[in-house]
Amino acid sequence: MAVPKKKTSKAKKNMRRSHHAISATSISVCEKCGAPKRSHRVCLSCGDYNGREVLKGQAE
């Protein structure tokens, strides 16, 4: 079996985990209505995505 020969120190463990942090979601602005929306997703207020209307009836 593969067993470590030495104990991993707290510093070494934390250095390995330094990239595991959760980053905040990026928020962009919809080009059509100006509402805040998440990147690469449909705008929930107007239903627009990539210059075309994807969701019908959201602009009412």
Q: Compute the distance between CA of residue 18 and CA of residue 3 in angstroms, rounded to an integer.
A: 24
Provide CB contacts within 8 A for 35, sequence distance 6+.
Answer: 29, 43, 44, 45, 46
Residue 51 phi/psi, 5° resolution?
A: 85, 5
Given this model, what pLDDT does residue 10 score?
A: 97
User: What confidence tens digit (pLDDT) does each residue in 6-48 have?
Assistant: 999 999 999 999 999 999 999 999 998 999 999 999 999 999 9
Query: pTM for the full model?
Result: 0.56
Q: Which two tokens stand for residue 8?
A: 């991993």
Q: Compute the distance between CA of residue 34 and CA of residue 19 in angstroms, rounded to an integer.
A: 33
Cα 3 → chain centroid: 36
Mean pLDDT of 46-53: 90
Given this model, what pLDDT does residue 54 score?
A: 87
Given this model, what pLDDT does residue 37 score?
A: 94
